[in-house]
Amino acid sequence: MKISEDQRILLFHHWDTDGIASAALVLRELRSENIKTFTPAIGNYMIDEKDRKRIKTIDPSEIIIVDMALPKDSIDFLKKFGKVRIFDHHIQKKHDVELHVNPIIEGASPSEYPSATWVITDHFHRRPDLLTLLGAFGDREEKLKENEAAMKTVGEVLSELGSEFDQVLKCAERIDTLYKTGDRDRITEMPFHLKDIEEPIDILGIEDLKKNEQDLKKAISEEVDGPLDEIDEDILHREMSSPYNIISTVTRRIAWSREDKKVVVSNSGFQPENCQIYIRGPLDNSKAIIEDMKKRGYSAGGKSDVVGMVIPEEDKEEVLQDIFKIL
Ligand SMILES: [Mn+2]
């Protein structure tokens, strides 16, 4: 990349495996030694006041954003410091910046670019390697197998590595333990570590990731086996205070064995002032719930059978009672 060595670079990346592997790929393209990796507060798809202060302290002269579709006002904030370059595969508007590489918004199909690592590998004419695969395995998991074109590349890289699909998937899962344990410092360290890694075994040997995996497994099964409040015949509620970002897995597991019930899970332990809420089951009004929560100013999203949201802790009781009513 044409960025001179004396620049102070802010490398802004998503907290998941694709974001971390994308940042590692970009590090391989940079000559500068003065690079600060940065991920926003986990769950924040924008730059909030606290993060703005942090970035002001870093005072970068060039900004590179990977695997994250930031809103315009966050981009405008970054543009005040220097040139902004973006490499991404999310649906978003094209930003007026130095470079915005996103084949999806140019009309390419998401199956051609299953991850940001794919976009970056392609842009820099790199030979696809473990890092390229990691991003796609992290974002698509088992579903990647349905993508014929991508699987051709996957097959080639796997055979070069002497590895298998499940081994690389395991690597992606291990890296994703970092945002599930909320370890933001380790997330921003990891691209520097991955930059020099070529084989899956080098990732599977990282001790703290192994420990994270065990801790998360234990925490998830404890939460899944914990007490359930029966709100009525159809609705079950599980109240958690877990320091881990495991609510989506916990909700899915609880709902699996109770297919006829609507399962509501809340967790007040992951972020100090916020409560996460997940709903899963035979929902007939998930869209209406999401719209309602957005109207209240909360961050909410989901699909036909699942809804997720983050709300201020102080609103929890009121929101839960309303959800039970709407369901
Ligand atoms: Mn991604």
Buried/exposed 56-72: b ≥16 CB within 10 Å, e otherwise: eeeebbbbbbbbbbbee
CA of 21 from ligand 1 middle (Å) equals 10
Q: For the purposes of burial, counting CB atoms within 10 Å of the CB of 227, is it exposed (0-12), middle (13-18) or buried (19 or more)? A: exposed
CA of 40 from ligand 1 middle (Å) equals 15
CA of 223 from ligand 1 middle (Å) equals 28
Residue 121's CB: how many other CB atoms inside 10 A? 23
Q: How far apart are CA 172 and CA 167, in angstroms?
A: 9
CA of 318 from ligand 1 middle (Å) equals 34
CA of 70 from ligand 1 middle (Å) equals 13
Strand runs labelled E in 35-76: 35-38, 62-66
CA of 144 from ligand 1 middle (Å) equals 13
Q: How far apart are CA 47 and CA 61, in angstroms?
A: 18
CA of 86 from ligand 1 middle (Å) equals 13
**pLDDT tens digits, the chain, 327 residues: what are they?**
888 888 999 999 999 999 999 999 999 999 888 999 999 988 888 899 999 999 999 999 999 999 999 999 999 999 999 999 999 999 888 999 999 999 999 999 989 999 999 999 999 999 999 999 999 999 999 999 999 999 999 999 999 999 999 999 999 999 999 999 999 999 999 999 999 999 999 999 999 999 999 999 999 999 999 999 999 999 999 999 999 999 999 999 999 889 899 999 999 999 989 999 999 999 999 999 999 999 998 988 888 889 999 999 999 999 999 999 999
Structural domains of the chain, ranges and CATH numbers in brackets: 9-210 (3.90.1640.30), 226-326 (3.10.310.40)
